[in-house]
Structure 1
């Protein structure tokens, strides 16, 4: 059988829907769930691999221009399914641990970046939010101009929101969890009580792993952060004594009291999508991340 997922392409929401269906038909170990809907009604797809009670979650494309993280996670889904069927140790692991993937948190925004404003009825408003430009390569927000990774209820009130209105990036919204995409992922995390979370972003080859951590919690999380840094080659980032807050990783660390990691793939390319020429290197660096976090569940 040939591969279903082709990550070396402009990976669209429609491709995610199609590949999710094909993968769940081929692999009995994989299940699909819909955890919510975007502003425009696109499904927020989650894929569950394994049957264990201990759970981890990996998500991607909080930010619209960072859609290559979706391709990476879908590549990971298929690779892990194949390993489940062919490697005894992986099958045993995933009888104890379940890996949940949410490959595209922001499908409306991704569609805007990839296919342009003409796909949307509110094109005039979107162009206005985009400072009059019809080029949306740098867009990070959802379709309402809210940055989804500034939406989570941890120090949200203290975010220095100089934007204060819908924009391509950085607007934190009118209140925490005002956007259905962020609220859906938040509810999903509350329901499942994940042991570890990895949130994929781009770019910079960095890992953010702490948010005001100290003491035993700092030491515990640092051990796993060091492992991820070693296998990816990405540097660990110290956000300083007063990080901005509002991110999913920030909220998960402080409220769920479990380790979480924001992993920035690819060399820094600026406010544009990561070029596909970087993909082979990205895959080599990140393909074991889910397995490492799954194994970590067995020892905590």
Structure 2
């Protein structure tokens, strides 16, 4: 929600009046100096939306504020040209509405368009979110990174490396929305206050690594050359529910130089709905973008969300640091998922991350069953994964 600066206003005053943490207001207005706010300057207030209110006979701003249990100055701030003594029945004024309910509904077929719509709504309500385009998919879709927080500890989450594991994006977006609500409303998640985490941690989030593949699974082949290619790779079958790869049949999570030759020798040798690691490491724009992001950010830890199995893979060749076990034990305690240190599978994003930086990396396998997991599991998966998301910040 946008307001205009008046004589004597300050970010501190807005934080107090709107009951929003000062750091969120400062970060929602990155081009403004907190110490010098020009009169008339537009200021963004996170976690609020302006709605219309029709004046009734006998209304005053004081009465409206009292009946809604808000400071009257909130009404003055969103109605700067309204004289409080001249309200008339039928007149429309703006009312500042605090957002207390989530807007993201992850419990649906979560394709790239749904993601984009939800992200745009979150950007509008929570302008302290930083957004970056880290690259593009094969078909040119933006690969989006969100950054939330201002702390020195950099934690990375990603989802939908595999196309038919798109439910991971839906789960992640629901938690992001819960976290944003928690921050702006100063409400705990699982008994833990999150505002200190905002100051301690910077989250880097890529909610959909393989947007072309996700759309292929959910919506079928697109028109044109890429759709025709996908149909050929899929042996002419129009059912893409078993498709894990990107649009040209490369498994993005088998693209990383961590025992790549070993994995390639036992996997398909040509584009395939799943498991083809490419002709060499890092050939696909999606996997390249994710590698460059890690190299640029130098994350403290990485969590890659996949399905299925309710396990958390956390080791690679014994190169993971000792703290990695302590962290995964906390993830297990929060979720009831089983920690698994070693598995005979390589070339994944977390494998490469551990190999390159000797820092904690995790592949979190959400849910049980056959991919794509049904939405009937959504609530159960979400309840079990919330603690993992949260613990990744405080551990």
Equivalent position of 1:193 in the other structure: 298
Matched ranges for 1:1-300 at <5 A: 1=99, 2-87=101-186, 89-159=193-263, 160-213=265-318, 217-240=320-343, 243-267=344-368, 269-270=369-370, 272-296=371-395
Larger radius of gyration between Structure 1 and Structure 2: 2
Native 8 Å contact 1:69 1:200 kept in 2: yes
> Helix, strand or coil for the counterpart of 2:104?
coil
How many Å separate the matches in 1 of 2:260 and 2:324?
23
Cα 1:118–1:186 shift into 2, 3 Å: closer
Native 8 Å contact 1:29 1:81 kept in 2: no
TM-score, with structure 1 as normaliser: 0.92
How many Å separate the matches in 2 of 1:139 and 1:202?
13
Cα 1:226–1:119 shift into 2, 3 Å: farther
Q: CA deviation at 1:147?
A: 0.2
Q: CA deviation at 1:141?
A: 0.2
Cα 1:123–1:93 shift into 2, 3 Å: closer
How many Å separate the matches in 2 of 1:70 and 1:90?
22
How many Å separate the matches in 2 of 1:115 and 1:285?
28
How many Å separate the matches in 2 of 1:125 and 1:294?
41
How many Å separate the matches in 2 of 1:47 and 1:72?
15
What runs of 5+ residues in structure 1 fail to find an aligned partner? none
Q: CA deviation at 1:133?
A: 1.1
> Helix, strand or coil for the counterpart of 2:322?
helix
Measured on the aligned residues, the alpha-carbon RMSD in Å equals 1.5
Q: CA deviation at 1:156?
A: 1.0
111-120 or 140-149, larger mean C-alpha shift: 111-120
How many Å separate the matches in 2 of 1:161 and 1:178?
19
Cα 1:283–1:120 shift into 2, 3 Å: farther
Q: CA deviation at 1:118?
A: 4.3
Native 8 Å contact 2:102 2:181 kept in 1: no
Cα 1:48–1:137 shift into 2, 3 Å: same
Q: CA deviation at 1:119?
A: 4.2
Native 8 Å contact 1:155 1:244 kept in 2: no
How many Å separate the matches in 1 of 2:358 and 2:136?
27
What runs of 5+ residues in structure 2 fail to find an aligned partner? 1-98, 188-192
- Deviation per CA, 1:109-151: give whole Å up to 9, x if none: 0000000014453333212211231110000000110000000
> Helix, strand or coil for the counterpart of 1:288?
helix
Q: CA deviation at 1:175?
A: 1.2
